[in-house]
A and B are shown apart, each in its own frame.
Chain A
Amino acid sequence: MDFAEFVMARTPALLRFGYLLTGDGHLAEDLVQEALVRVHRRWSGIEHQDGPEPYVRKAILHQYLSWRRRRSSTELPVDQLPEAPDPAPAVERIVDRDEMWSLLATLPRAQRAVVVLRYYEDLADADIALMLGCTQGTVRVHAFKALKRLRVALTDPAVVGAGHDRG
């Protein structure tokens, strides 16, 4: 598969991945474009390895994690999460998906990346650790914190407020 064929075939999937990471269509396009430009320069070496897609996805992920914060002022100043309530009420609650999407934007980037890789890409923690360049324990900590934060926010929306970090 040459580079053009790869881009034509895989761009939609890569953009879905980028969009779930960023929550913004334009930024997703920028992420994917940047990753593809990098891959383009090294295509002949990459296509003979495990295939270019893992490489491109890793590039997208690292690019996302290394962004300069553009809207850090809207980050949520929640260093210490309040005591987690019994999760049962949150579990029983009928949660609007749009609310969940908004809450996703409040997660730190590493946590959001783990959430996307685990619950959208269905990757095992070991694979996620490889992609992120960290240990499986770190992946599990990110996942635990993200889920805890979401549960708390769903139980008490005031904890999160309206701030989003889309950048």
Chain B
Amino acid sequence: MTEVERQLRDMLSRYAYDAPAGHLMLSRVRQAAVRRRRRRRAVATGGAALALVLAASGAATLAARPAPIQPKLSMGLGQDVAGVNFAAGSPVDLTFPFTPPAAPVPGTRPMLTLVAGRPTLQYLPAEAEDTQSRTNPPVLPTGTRLPMVGSDAAGAAVLPSDGPSASPQAGQFTTGQPGTNSATTDSATADPATTDSATTDPVTVVVSGSPWDDGPFTAAIKVRSTTVHGIVGVIGERPSPAGPPDYVLTWTERGGPWVGVSAPETISTVDLTDFASALSPQPVTQPGPFDFDLVPADFAVDNISPSTVTFRPPGVAASSDFVDKLVVSMDAEPARMQGDRPVKVGARAGWLHVVDNVVMLRIDEGDGRSLTVQAPERLRIDQPDLLRFAAGVHITAAAVPARG
């Protein structure tokens, strides 16, 4: 054996263990087998139905919505690999199981998102979250269908927010305001002037369908117990790269989800508990940034923000990133980039390019905004299907262009 052969053998042995573990392989195989059986049946029945229609009428009829797209093959593996099925779309809305209390920190505004499949409520600095002006936003009754924060240029209803004249409400932190909650002793330094919401983590509520085994609060160290909604919860501490450590409060609703609230440690644990207790267990629904005529069947929606929706294919773990997902986003910038290939997306103009094995389709909305549909090649969505999917994406009034 030569030296090159020896090195080759050593290298292969070493790199072999960089291979993925394949924990989900069995479920992936079973899902693929089911999809393939469905596809074979669909092809068989579709062919028969088509023959029947043609024989009866001799003419095609246009449906209001595009017909579901049958799986096709394009890039990637060989001829028998299943592609992506598209089905008629339904609203991609976000439901949060609690009505958000008033903003706990002055100058912040609540925003609902879906992050890695988990409904998430964050109180962000108003100016950072939304540059549009609002005056006297009305407080909505619970259970109301809410618009996406940042969407109401005309001053439509928004999530309840604090205002200069707002009086303290349950769950609203009163730090730094004399004559208020006497229990906020350990937050005496956290008045609005020193509680710089731009340099600390925002108050965040995350709802999960499963315990925090890999969730955002696992790094917390338990420090004490407390009670929320009559249920014992745990307050812990978690280091924060943004500034002081965060307090995190977690509990499990009776028969319901796991809930976690995090806030900068400049906010007292008493106020944190009060805020958590003020989460009224009445769900609110917020529209997503896009309507979809078609959605990828069997995919899960795992992220919704005011500018982005991601669809996660089977076998891909929920996460907050875009890796291996079908992504739709809106930007406040021109669609056309140099070197892109022009295409028609319904009645709109679009441009295609591929970078790092990801197909990027930008669509000009004609008003200075653009849509981007991002599809990894490994999803094997061929170009006609991608264009049909993109043609069925409509920006709603709730959408806010992505920044940066």
Quick check: B324 and A91 within 8 Å, CB to CB?
no
Majority secondary structure of chain B interface residues (helix, strand, loop or mixed): helix
B355 within 8 A of A: no
A131 within 8 A of B: no
Q: Do A16 and B17 form a contact, CB below 8 Å, given A8-B26, A120-B9?
A: yes
In Å, the complex CA distance between A64 and B28 comes to 19
CB within 8 Å of B: which A146-167 residues: 147, 150-151, 154, 167
Majority secondary structure of chain A interface residues (helix, strand, loop or mixed): helix
Closest to B8 in A: A119
In Å, the complex CA distance between A17 and B26 comes to 17
Quick check: A67 and B77 within 8 Å, CB to CB?
yes
Closest to B10 in A: A97
B21 within 8 A of A: yes
B191 within 8 A of A: no
Quick check: A30 and B19 within 8 Å, CB to CB?
no
B20 within 8 A of A: yes
A29 → chain B closest CB, angstroms: 6
A41 within 8 A of B: yes
- List, in ascending order, chain A residues with CB within 8 A of B36's CB: 37
B78 within 8 A of A: yes
Contact of B8 among A8, A32, A37, A150 (CB under 8 A): A150
In Å, the complex CA distance between A63 and B81 comes to 10
CB within 8 Å of B: which A49-100 residues: 63, 66-68, 70, 87, 90-92, 95, 97, 100
Query: What sequence of 0s and 1s flags, for each residue 71-105 of chain B, a beta carbon within 8 Å of any chain A beta carbon?
Result: 00001111011000000000000000000000000
B25 within 8 A of A: yes
In Å, the complex CA distance between A37 and B26 comes to 10
- List, in ascending order, chain B residues with CB within 8 A of A37's CB: 29, 32-33, 36, 80
Contact of A36 among B2, B13, B25, B76 (CB under 8 A): B25
| A–B pairs, 20, beta carbons within 8 Å | A15-B21, A16-B17, A27-B77, A30-B76, A30-B81, A33-B32, A34-B78, A36-B25, A37-B80, A38-B80, A66-B78, A67-B77, A68-B75, A68-B78, A70-B75, A91-B4, A101-B11, A120-B13, A120-B16, A147-B8
Interface pairs A-B: 9 shortest CB-CB: A19-B19, A91-B3, A120-B12, A16-B16, A11-B22, A25-B20, A16-B19, A15-B19, A11-B25
